């Protein structure tokens, strides 16, 4: 029930009703109490929209907007939700009770006020950390109505907020749906803040989908933006480093790590030690990996299809590259000990990396030995398998044999030029 003061003012509304309601809203904090504020606002809303008040549409619009402003001054999200839903339901009821020919007119009459109410609800749900409800409230905002002029910036602003709310609850599928809408119009928007939020949302979705190399590049680009604070730039740089470390081992990841290593800001990050070791193909100790894992997000520690985490897979593949720099060849069992895997799993991991062009070498399954071929992998699928198993000593032997053969041929050619008769009588030249 409304407070006595509010009820008295409303009961005496006879003439100059708009001014009386305006005055009531201006003095609401002195006339109402915390216990009755919700009932008071309900009563005022009903008075504004009552058919017996004989208020014109323009006046009703103004008073509704004034009521929304008054509600926001209380800074109570639950109150915002209460009044916002009440006003929307009242406007919806008046629309549904209108004749068919008048429904469009009635709905369009308060379209701008409905948008403000949806934004009020979204703000309230975000304040309460009910991100799904906030996204749904924003999704109800009409962006294609002929009764309201909507710019591309308006659309982008709403869609960006929806994407960010869904990302807060890790609903990347729905967030990506709205991100795809953004991709079609973001190029028409010059607002740097909206563009920045779009890029950040895109990076977060790529991160959640485990497209770590693309996410790392996007985070690094954002970390160079002057539109965000220094702390935020360092945070996004740290995210770029984490994503690069979690990416599949290979030449593409090496280039990403090298780019980040050259960024002078990276030296001050907690992840710099892992970044440096991975860039230079040094083996990682379990303690280093555990410390790094403490700073990862839940989705970055989620299990993959084979039952391991993304981090565990990245570390195994990195250590395998490190082993390839130290050994010419190694047995399955010994490799498994170094990688912390069983022999079969070590062989399978190596085979996949060779087949995907991320490691150059070959596998002798009969002798259960892996041969590593020197040089950088190309990253092209199928390019990492060597035709024969060779190591550094084998290559050196081949080079010596070739050098000897060339020397013999040079001596033969010289003899043939200087002593053709001797060569004809004593040597058989093919």
Residue 74 lies in a domain: yes
Residue 250 lies in a domain: no
Residue 155 lies in a domain: no
* 6 in Cβ contact with 31 (< 8 Å): yes
Q: Structural domain tally of the chain?
A: 2
Residue 197 lies in a domain: no
Residue 47 lies in a domain: yes
Residue 62 lies in a domain: yes
* Spatial distance between the Cα atoms of 246 and 275, rounded to a whole number of angstroms: 11
- Per-residue pLDDT of the chain in tens (430 residues, 90 and over written 9): 667 777 777 777 666 788 888 888 888 888 888 888 999 899 888 888 876 667 788 888 899 999 999 999 998 999 999 999 999 998 887 654 444 444 433 456 788 899 999 999 999 999 999 999 999 999 999 888 777 788 899 999 999 999 999 999 989 999 999 999 999 999 999 999 999 999 999 999 999 989 999 999 999 999 999 888 999 999 999 999 999 999 988 888 889 999 999 999 999 999 999 999 989 888 888 888 889 998 888 888 888 777 788 888 888 888 888 888 888 889 999 988 888 888 888 888 888 888 888 888 888 888 889 988 766 666 666 555 544 444 455 666 777 888 898 888 888 888 888 888 887 777 765 5
Quickly list DSSP for 121-173: HHHHHHHTT-HHHHHHHHHTS-SS-TTS---HHHHHHHHHHHHHHHHHTT-HH
Residue 115 lies in a domain: yes
pLDDT at 104: 39
Residue 408 lies in a domain: yes
pLDDT at 99: 42
* 3 in Cβ contact with 40 (< 8 Å): yes
Instruction: Give the pTM.
Output: 0.72
The residue range of the domain holding 41 is 1-94+110-150
């Amino acid at each position: 029930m409304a407070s006595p003061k509010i009820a008295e003012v409303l009961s005496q509304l006879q003439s100059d009703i708009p001014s009386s309601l305006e005055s009531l809203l201006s003095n609401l904090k002195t006339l109402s109490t915390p216990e009755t504020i919700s009932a008071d606002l309900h009563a005022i809303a009903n008075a504004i929209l009552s058919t017996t008040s004989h208020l014109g549409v323009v006046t009703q619009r103004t008073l509704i907007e004034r009521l929304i402003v008054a509600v926001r001054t209380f800074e109570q999200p639950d109150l915002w939700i209460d009044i916002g839903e009440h006003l929307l339901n009242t406007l919806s009821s008046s629309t549904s009770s209108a004749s068919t020919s008048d429904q469009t007119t009635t709905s369009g009459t308060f379209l701008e006020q409905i948008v403000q109410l949806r934004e009020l609800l979204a703000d309230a749900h975000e304040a309460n950390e009910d991100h799904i409800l906030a996204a749904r409230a924003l999704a109800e905002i009409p962006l294609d109505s002929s009764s309201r002029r909507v710019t591309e910036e308006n659309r982008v602003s709403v869609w960006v907020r929806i994407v960010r709310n869904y990302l807060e609850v890790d609903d990347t599928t729905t967030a990506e749906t709205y991100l795809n809408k953004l991709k079609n119009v973001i190029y028409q928007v010059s607002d740097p803040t909206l563009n920045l939020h779009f890029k950040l949302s895109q990076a977060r979705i790529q991160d959640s989908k485990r497209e770590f190399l693309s996410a790392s590049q996007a985070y690094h680009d954002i970390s160079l933006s002057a539109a965000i604070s220094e702390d935020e730039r360092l945070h996004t740089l740290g995210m770029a480093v984490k994503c690069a470390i979690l990416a599949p081992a290979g030449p593409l990841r090496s280039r990403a790590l090298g780019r980040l290593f050259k960024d002078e800001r990276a030296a001050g990050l907690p992840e710099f030690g892992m970044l440096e070791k991975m860039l230079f193909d040094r083996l990682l100790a379990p303690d280093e990996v555990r410390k790094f894992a403490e700073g990862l997000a839940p989705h970055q520690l989620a299990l993959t299809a084979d039952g391991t985490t993304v981090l565990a897979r990245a570390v195994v593949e990195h250590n395998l590259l490190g082993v390839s720099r130290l050994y010419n060849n190694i047995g399955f069992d010994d490799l498994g000990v170094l990688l912390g895997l069983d022999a079969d799993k070590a062989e399978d991991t190596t085979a996949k990396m060779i087949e995907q062009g991320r490691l150059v070498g070959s596998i002798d399954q009969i002798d259960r030995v892996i041969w590593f071929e020197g040089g950088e992998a190309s990253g092209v699928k199928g390019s990492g398998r060597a035709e024969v198993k060779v190591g550094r000593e084998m290559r050196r032997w081949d080079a010596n044999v070739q050098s000897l053969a060339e020397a013999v041929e040079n001596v033969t050619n010289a003899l043939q030029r200087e002593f053709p008769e001797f060569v004809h009588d004593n040597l058989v030249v093919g």
